[in-house]
Structure 1
Amino acid sequence: MLIVDIVLETADTTGFTLWPVAGLPPYRPLALSGRMTPDEVGSAMAALARHTVGASDDDPPAPDAAALVRRMLAEEEISVDGGLRFRHTGLDVTVNPGCCCGLRDWRDWSSLVTDGEVPWLGHDPTPRVELAEATVRLWPDGGFAAEPPPTRPVGIPVADLPGILRSVQDDLRGFLGLVERWAARRVPDQARELTDRLDADLAVTAPLPGRHTGGLAQVV
């Protein structure tokens, strides 16, 4: 069975006290959806803040949640590392987005359907993507090697990608709804602006390109 999640990379929240966060290790994928706990939403927001604002010795720490969110909103774009995670339970294979792959780039997978363009999935390790006729083949690493790894890849029919992306978009919409509630409680004066910016900067609710049929993929 193939399970596809939209994930972001968690931040190091040691000593973070501006709002509650889950006890998650840093630099690990956190799946986004409408099923997250409040503390998981807090961890996701901390990761977004850390990646967007950064940490500079020249800037004093934000004194409260509202101040940190204001700094986020002052940036040109709210961003975080992440993307689509593919997990095949039968093969026990997981393909995570590589380093520096941006969460907002999740829509790049639609290019495989529209023009056969393979998305970039980051590096260290670099996942390998190959388009073979009507099937996408994925490996967790080996992206720059001349030959694919000897392990069996995860295979996804290209015709199933639109359905996968619709499911991913539904999860992002669910996450955005939780953020709206989180912000109304933690930073009420900035709740609407924050929700709207996340929607735009992470490309959540805009229509997906084209109209296709297809369901969730099965592995070949």
Structure 2
Amino acid sequence: MALNAGCTDEQVGLFVAALADRIDVPPPGGLDEGVDALLAQELLIIAGGLQVRDTSTGMAVAPGCCAGLEDWRDWTQAITGGSPWLGHDPGPEVEVLGDDLQVWQDGGPNRHRGRWAGLHVDIPHSALPELLMRTQRDLVGFLAALTAWAERAGLGRRGINLVEAIDQNFTITAPLDVAVG
């Protein structure tokens, strides 16, 4: 699910439910109790991450298991030639090739012979900073959608605290260092 300002209340609620999926919510388990349980967590995490898509070919590389959206800023490592953590199986990986980044669905040693053979997306290295800034803008927009959802749901201070906790745990509004070299 793409997170941005255009998310519907249903999509925002689905995100909050997915965020709460890994924790126990005491009975009766309504929205207030779910948000309270989230706010009691030391760390908020959610499976997923950034999906890379080539808009001209439709090819997409999805994060592997154990990747989380909370690690989205790790993509800045690719600016300086590193590879962000993109999860296990099938082991997505970023490879620097000249002026391009190749994002492989299966970054393991058998990537060219395995079932994911050839599945990759090319990103011009120079485009990555703007893509990451756009991602941050989308996530800030999602915080606005989350705020509006919380208000409509009547969460009051709980909603404000939830938005702040998600912003902190996913490091959304903090300055983004995308300087090259």
Determine if the TM-score, normalized by the shorter chain, exceeds 0.5: yes
Match of 1:79 in 2: 45
Counterpart CA distance in 1 for 2:168 and 2:175 is 12
Match of 2:112 in 1: 148
8 Å CA contact 2:7–2:142 kept in 1: the answer is yes
Instruction: Give the distance between the partners of 1:162 and 1:176, measured in 2 at CA.
Output: 21
Paired position in structure 2 for 1:48:
19
Q: CA deviation at 1:63?
A: 2.9
Label 1:159 to 1:33 Cα distance change in 2 as closer, same or farther (>3 A): same
Instruction: Give the alignment's TM-score, normalised by structure 2.
Output: 0.88
> 1:36 Cα deviation (Å)?
1.2
For residues 4-43 of structure 1, what are the structure 2 equivalents within 5 Å?
Answer: 30-43=1-14
CA distance in 2, matches of 1:67, 1:200: 21
1:128-151: per-residue Cα shift (whole Å, max 9, x none)?
32111321101222x222453542
Aligned to 1:162: 129
More strand by share: 1
CA 1:211 to 1:62, structure 2 compared with 1: closer, same or farther past 3 Å? farther
Tell me how far apart the structure 1 counterparts of residues 81 and 112 of structure 2 sit (CA, whole Å).
19
Q: 1:131 aligns with which of 91, 96, 101?
A: 96
Q: Deviations over 1:165-218 (max 9, x none)?
A: 010001101110011111123221312111111111011111111446xxxxxx
Secondary structure, aligned partner of 2:49 = strand
2:161 is aligned to 193
Match of 1:69 in 2: 35
Distance in 2, matches of 1:83 and 1:210, equals 18
Unaligned 5+ runs, structure 1: 1-29, 213-220
Provide the TM-score with structure 1 as the length reference: 0.74
What is the number of equivalent residue pairs in this alignment?
Answer: 176
d(CA) in 1 for partners of 2:138, 2:119? 28
Give yes or no for contact 1:128–1:148 (8 Å, CA) kept in 2.
Answer: no
> What secondary structure, in the 3-state scheme, does the structure 1 residue paired with 2:75 have?
helix
Aligned equivalent of 2:72: 106
Let me know the Cα RMSD of the aligned residues. Answer: 1.9
Change (3 A) 1:73 1:155: same
SS at match of 1:84: coil
**Counterpart-to-counterpart distance in 1, 2:17 and 2:140:** 19
Distance in 1 of aligned mates of 2:178 and 2:52: 23
Q: How far apart are the structure 2 equivalents of 1:210 and 1:140? A: 24
Q: Residues 32-86 of structure 1: CA distance to partner in whole angstroms, max 9, x if unpaired? A: 11111111111111111113x2x4xxx7444321111111111101110111111
Query: Contact 2:67–2:86 at 8 Å: present in 1 too?
Result: yes
Greater relative contact order, per chain length (Cα 8 Å cut-off, separation 6+): 2
Query: How much identity, in percent, do the aligned residues show?
Result: 38
* Amino acid corresponding to residue 102 of structure 1 in structure 2: G
